[in-house]
Every structure is written in C-alpha cells, then in structure tokens.
Chain A
Amino acid sequence: MFAKIKKRDGREVHFDDSKITDAIFKAARSVGGEDRETAMELTLGVLRMLKQQSNGQVFGVEDVQDVVEKILIEKGHAKTAKAYILYRDRRSRVRDAKGELMDVVEDIVKETDRDNANVGNSPSAKMLQIASAASRRYYLTRLIDEDYSLAHSRGDIHIHDLDFYATTCNCLQIPLEKLLKEGFNTGHGYIRPPKRPASATSLAAIILQSSQNDMFGGQSFPFFDKQIAPSMDGADEDKVYQAMEALVFNLNSMHSRAGSQVPFSSINLGTDTSEEGRGVTRNFLLAYEAGLGRGENPIFPNVIFRVKKGVSFDPQDPNYDLFQLAVRVASKRLNPTFSFMDSSFNKPYDDQVAYMGCRTRTMDNRRGPAVTTGRGNLSFTTINLPRLGIKAERNMKTFYRLLDEVTELTINQLYHRFQVQCRLKVKDLPFVMGQGMYLGSEDLKPDDSIEPAIVNGTLTVGFIGLAEMLVALTGYHHGQSKDSQQLGLEIVNYLRRKTDEACERFNLNYTLLATPAEGTCGRYVRLDRKEYGIIPGITNQEYYTNSYHIPVHFPISSFDKISLEGPYHRFCNAGHISYVEFAAPPQHNPEAVEAIIRHMAESDMGYGGINYPVDFCCNCGLQGVINEPNCPRCGSADIRRIRRITGYLSTIDRFNDGKVEELKHRLPHS
C-alpha cells in the first residue's frame, strides 16, 4: 500500500491506516455507533479510492481526510460524516490558533504587548502576557459561541478583558470601612483592625492589592474620606499627613497580578464634612500634591473629588476650602478629576454616586439596594460604531437594522459571560467573595456559586467612535454640525433604550458605557481599513475617537466641547467622562481650571477632568512642558513624561501605537 504520508508541517512519516480507522470510529461513536468492523471496512474503501487517485506521489493528511469524508457520504453514513467534518473543522481551528499563538508568544518574548499602558516589561509581565494570549485563544476557539467569537475577531464588537472571560469579574467599589472595622483575612491569617492612622492606610493599600488579585479591573474606595475617618480619630494633622503620604507611595510601588502591575486604584472623596473626614481629604490631597520621593507626579491612585452644592461647591459650603485645594492640585498633578453629584442623573442619589478611575459608574440595581459600595461592573463589550456607519451607506434604515443586530448580539454575549461567571465559586475569588466584600456574598459558603452576589453587578454595552460613525452617516461629526449632534444624541439614547429593555428581559443590570477603549481604538481602525480602505474623516487616523468625544484633532473651544459632550453623560449610566485639553500645565492658574469645572457642572456632566502634558526632569525636578529631549534647566535626558490614558495616568513609553497616535493629535483648545 502506501509507505508514507506527508504531515501538515511538511514532514513525511510512516503511513498507518489504523489511524484512519481510529478517526472514523471516533466520529461514529460520537453519534452512537459501536461497530469498529464497519470503520475498518470504510478504511478499506478509503484506501481503494486513494489508490485510484494515486500517481505515485505522497498524499498529505488533508488529502486523506477529504477522501474519508467522501467515502462516509457515499456509503450512506451521513451522521458519522457530519461528526467527522465537525471534528476536522474544530481541529483545524485549534491548530490555526496554536500556530498564531506561537507567533504571538514569539512577539511577546521580543517585546511586551502594549494593550495595557499600566503593565511593565518585567519577566512576570511577559509571563502574564503569554498566559493572556493563550487564554484569549482558548476562550475564542473553545468556550465562546462562534457567533460571538467571530464578531469579536472581525471587529464588530470587542469583548474586553477576554483573557479573564471565565475566571473573574471586572471591578469593585470596596467596603473599606467594614474591613477596617472587622479585620480581614487575605488567605494567610487574620489581620486585626488598625489602631493608628498609618496602619489604617497601609491596610487600605493591602486591601486594594488583594482585591486586585481577584479581579481584572479597577479597585476603588467609594467614600474614602468617610470610610477611613474613624481610624483618624484624635490623630494630629502630621500623623494624618504621614498616613496619606504612605498610601500614595504604596499605591505607586506595590505590585499585584504576579508582579506585573500596580493595582488600578481609585479614591473618591470630598463630601464628608466631619473634622476627621475633612482631615483625610485635606491631607490626602496635600500628599498627592507633594508627589513621590523626588516630587514626581504620582500615577496612582486616580483621585475623584466629589462636587456638590451645599457641601463643597460654593464659597459658603463647609468643604469649599477642600474644593479649592482639589482644584489647585488638579492644576499641577492631573488629579483629582471631578464628579458632579448635582447632575440630573446623580442628584437622586444625594452624594452616593462613586466613579472608578476608568469612568465606570454602578448605581441602579434591580436585584438589590441601589448603592455604590460592594458592587461594580461584571464585564463589558464594545460596539464598533464607525463600521456600522460605513456599512449603512447613509441609509438610516439600514443603519438601525445593523445597530439592532449587533446590540442584540452584544447583549446576548454579555449574558453568556454572566452565566460563565456564575459557575465560579466563592473560593475562586477568595478575597472579594470570601471576605464578604461583594454585596450579597456575606452569607455564602466557599463552595457556593457567586451568582447571588454578582446579580448586583452590571453587564455593560459600550460604544466607540460616535464621531467617525456620524461622519460616515452624514459627512460631519457632532463638533462640525448641529444636525450631527442631534443624530448622535438620538443614537446614543437609542442604545440606552436597548440596554434598558435588556434589563427587563434578563432581570439583570444592563447598562450603557462610554467606552474608553485602550486597545480597541487602534484595532478597529486596522480591521476596518483592511475591509473598506482609508476613508477621510473615518479610517484615516490610527485610532477611533473615544466614545462620544469630539475628535481630539478637531479645533474647538473648551466651552463648546463641554457643551456638546455634556448631554451624552446622562445616557451613559455605566460611566462617562469628558476632558479638556490644555497645552501646558495650568499650575499657576487654578482659576482657569475652576472655570472649566464649573462649566462642566452647568452642562449636566457626571464626571470630568483636565488634561495637559506633565514632563518632569528626574534630575532637577523641573516640571512643565519639555518639548526638547533634554531638560532646559539642567540638561538631563532623564525626562519622565506623564499623560492620561483611558482615565488613568501613565508614562508615555507605556502607550500602545493607537494611543501614541491619538496623543500626537490631541489638540489643545485654542
């Protein structure tokens, strides 16, 4: 018979016909067949047909498999044939994935991927990237329904943090006061409640780190001033300052996720008017303003100052002095950002709304109390709006049909992920669930499903590139035309109605997010260019514009930008932010920053911030815009350049290509 067969990698090996029999028998058994004899007869049929086709060449594996399919069908084994074909297809997907995966690993070993600007280049960071690539492949080829995984691979949608699809949830607003009062256990023993300010803040850092190890997204203290105030009782100003300074230092040096990155930490504060609470806010802001050891701008935590009339916003308010201090620090350090408790959608909750530094907001809750603490987003998936705009070819009926399809797909995919997450047990998230941090996890046992807790979380549909989508649909984005702005609001409102409907249908907290999209902004454009080419105003940049933002390269006054972006905040109940971009740090000009913040509040924004370049000479401490490679004061080339990326601060060398391009095009308002 045949002596050799050519494997897929080109090697020729001994031809063993029992392997054909094995494969046929395996397929037959999967549909209920029990008879190996038949499989052997069929193998003979395969060999006969091969012989007929043979002209002396060595057959490849694929040739043989083609013949097996043909024989199975010809001999009337339709069910076995189907099973065999499906098996072949699955194997070939896995094989492709394996090949690709090895290429990815090779790239990572060369240089760490830049999807996440907060990950370093350390050995464990690379190890994490490789595991992440393998996880992504596994989930796309084995766990996730083909409809969803193809939509993701094509770039219709982007399943965020895919590498954690089945292992955990996104983010958490941490019940710090509870842990500090009762003590906690990180898995190696009980930690008792702190007695001094410095121990309280170092435990706070450990808590952030521990919960970060259980989750893939941001970790936040929703009411830091109020939550830690009891631990400051009676301490003098100096002690409180030292405690806060230690917290800032810890959060910029303490790594989690196997040593690859510091936790994505956020701190909300500003409305506690008690003496201790005010002391916390004041000293925390002062410590943040002072910066790290040589005066470097801290990268973490993200600081969110709560603005509320009657509490912190107006001169007669008890915390107005803290607001003034917050503005001063924001003028120098990029943080704090500002959350507006008086905006139409936050006001019903008094001052109880907190944000995550990446902009996430969790409030409404149909499965439990509508509170911030102990809850967070479970996962989010982002829709590629520009692609829909391009495909619709200016036909609005087509556009809405396409939008309906992809929104429906996204909602279902989020539900799939939720079901997968529900398979997790309390012991799989030992700190977050095991220590009863998540709302509804308090009474669960280690082997219980986490479902009763995570029904309190949110499932979130995000969107990116409203601007480019509007250009595709009308020729103008919302910064250029009033009609486009009207249409933009209409479409985002429509998306919100879709997620509201999903809440009813699934009895879960579906929400709409203005996606920051760190890695997605460049990936979508690359995929769309391949499909549709370079279209001016749509695919001609290296990135799609963040959510509903006005394109960063479009010249517009900050007044107009805020006025135009403001109305989108209320639709995006899963989170939103708007930025104003300055050409230089306004460090001597808090008044300018305050004017912006006040206009944001007037424009019904929920969350806003100020961006500007922060270049810092690590040698002499000069801070400002350093356009040249060396410090103009001391000549040192050791310049640390900090910018904001998707809500968090980072140094430029950690940005990915899409974000580097976006950064180059960010135009200050002039």
Chain B
Amino acid sequence: MKIRVAGIEKESVVDGPGLRFVIFVQGCTRHCSGCHNPDTWDFYGGQEMDTGEILAQIGEGRLNRGVTFSGGEPFEQVAACALLAEQIKPLGMDIVTYSGYTFEELQTKSLADEDVKRLLEATDILVDGPFIAEERDWDLPFRGSRNQRLILVHESLAAGMAVQAE
C-alpha cells in the first residue's frame, strides 16, 4: 500500500518514550499557527513510499522501542497507517500516534470509519489535539502545548473516557 510521507527518522528521542522510528505523514488541513513542521501541510508534498519498504526499515532498528506516527496528520492517511501499525505490533514494538483531533473526536469518527477504529486500537499512546501557540509550554515531554494530552488508548477505550499518562 502507498503512503505519502514528509520524512522518516530512524532513531528519535523526542517523539515518545524510548528510542523510536518516526514516520512523518504528509498532509494536514489544520494549519496551526506556530506549527513545528509546516512543510508537512501540503498533501502533494513529501514523497510516496510503499508501506512494505517502511516496514523493512523499521525491522532494522534494533534498539527501537516502537514506532511513532507524526505529521502532518496520520488520520488523513488512516488506512495506510492502520495497516502499518497492525504489521508493526507483531514485531513487539509499541505505537505512538500524534493527531490534531482529540481522543473524543476520534472516538466519534471511529463509529463511521473502520480504519480510524483500527489505527486507534493499534495505538498505545495518543498525543491528541491541535497545537495552540498560546498554550505553548517548552517543558512538556513529547508535546508542544498544554492542551495536548498523552492518552493511554487501551485504558481509555476500556474506560470509555480519556485516561492520561503520568
């Protein structure tokens, strides 16, 4: 399956706990003021890759704890991300997904869209919500503004409400 990506980082220390393989998914409609990666907005930017090719690269990262979907907006290419996430899990790696949607919005979306449900269920930690410049906090781990949360997805789905890490 094809996926359009802005770039790949094979060993990141700032996109979730542990060393992580990061896929920056290309394309986002949100255009937050002060966005860290504005070059990821254009849906025709970046480059097209095959999910199999990415999966092979992930397999090489022997010290990585997991894979992070960042962006751009992973839920705009949700089918490809869901497929990758489901293929990554059997490698014993965990999944962190960044999204401009909140957990609650994604829950609603998942009722109508099976792929959203799949990606959400494959995700261990969801970093949710748009970046809001006024809420900028430099000291937060793994996220930019105070409104954004680290959601433990499995616990949240079980509880039917957002459960945050920490």
Interface, chain A (partner B; CB < 8 A):
557-559, 582-586, 588-589, 591-593, 595-596, 599, 612, 622, 624, 632-633, 668-670
Please name the residue on chain B nearest to A589 by beta carbon.
B13
Bound-state CA distance A238–B113 (Å) is 58
B60 contacts the other chain (Cβ, under 8 Å)?
yes
Please name the residue on chain A nearest to B8 by beta carbon.
A670
Q: Min CB distance, B31 to chain A, in Å?
A: 20
- For B12-25 the 0/1 string (1 means CB < 8 A from A) is 11100111100000
A559 touches B13 (CB 8 A): no
Interface centre among B60, B62, B65, B142 (most CB of A within 10 A): B62
Which B residues from 86 to 102 make CB contacts under 8 A with A? none
B10 touches A589 (CB 8 A): no
Bound-state CA distance A593–B65 (Å) is 12
CB neighbours (8 Å) of A585 from chain B are 13
Q: What are 7 sample pairs from A and B whose C-beta atoms fall under 8 A apart? A: A586-B14, A589-B14, A589-B141, A592-B17, A668-B11, A669-B10, A670-B10
CB neighbours (8 Å) of A583 from chain B are 12-14
A592 touches B19 (CB 8 A): yes
CB neighbours (8 Å) of B45 from chain A are none
Please name the residue on chain A nearest to B137 by beta carbon.
A633
B60 touches A591 (CB 8 A): no
A559 touches B62 (CB 8 A): yes
Bound-state CA distance A637–B61 (Å) is 38
CB neighbours (8 Å) of B60 from chain A are 557
Interface centre among A557, A586, A592, A595 (most CB of B within 10 A): A592
CB neighbours (8 Å) of A558 from chain B are 11, 19, 63
A622 touches B11 (CB 8 A): no
> A557-B61, A559-B61, A559-B62 known; A591 and B10 CB under 8 Å?
no
Number of A-B pairs whose CB atoms are under 8 Å?
58
Contact of B63 among A559, A584, A589 (CB under 8 A): A559
Which B residues from 50 to 83 make CB contacts under 8 A with A? 60-63, 65
Please name the residue on chain B nearest to A591 by beta carbon.
B18
Please name the residue on chain B nearest to A625 by beta carbon.
B14
Q: Min CB distance, B166 to chain A, in Å?
A: 11
B141 touches A595 (CB 8 A): no
A595 touches B65 (CB 8 A): yes
> A595-B65, A596-B63 known; A622 and B138 CB under 8 Å?
yes
Q: Min CB distance, A225 to chain B, in Å?
A: 29
A624 touches B138 (CB 8 A): yes
Please name the residue on chain A nearest to B20 by beta carbon.
A592
Please name the residue on chain B nearest to A586 by beta carbon.
B13
CB neighbours (8 Å) of A599 from chain B are 63
A584 touches B14 (CB 8 A): yes
A588 touches B19 (CB 8 A): no
A670 touches B142 (CB 8 A): no
Which B residues from 134 to 152 make CB contacts under 8 A with A? 138, 141-142
CB neighbours (8 Å) of A586 from chain B are 13-14
Please name the residue on chain A nearest to B17 by beta carbon.
A591
B19 touches A595 (CB 8 A): yes
Please name the residue on chain B nearest to A669 by beta carbon.
B11
A633 touches B138 (CB 8 A): yes
Bound-state CA distance A588–B17 (Å) is 8
A670 touches B14 (CB 8 A): no
CB neighbours (8 Å) of B138 from chain A are 622, 624, 632-633
B42 contacts the other chain (Cβ, under 8 Å)?
no
> A557-B60, A624-B138, A633-B138 known; A591 and B11 CB under 8 Å?
no
Interface centre among A584, A585, A588, A599 (most CB of B within 10 A): A588
Bound-state CA distance A559–B19 (Å) is 11
CB neighbours (8 Å) of A589 from chain B are 13-14, 17-18, 141
A670 touches B9 (CB 8 A): yes
Interface centre among A559, A586, A622 (most CB of B within 10 A): A559
Please name the residue on chain A nearest to B142 by beta carbon.
A588
Bound-state CA distance A612–B17 (Å) is 17
Q: Min CB distance, A331 to chain B, in Å?
A: 8
Bound-state CA distance A669–B21 (Å) is 11
B18 touches A592 (CB 8 A): yes
Q: Min CB distance, B22 to chain A, in Å?
A: 9
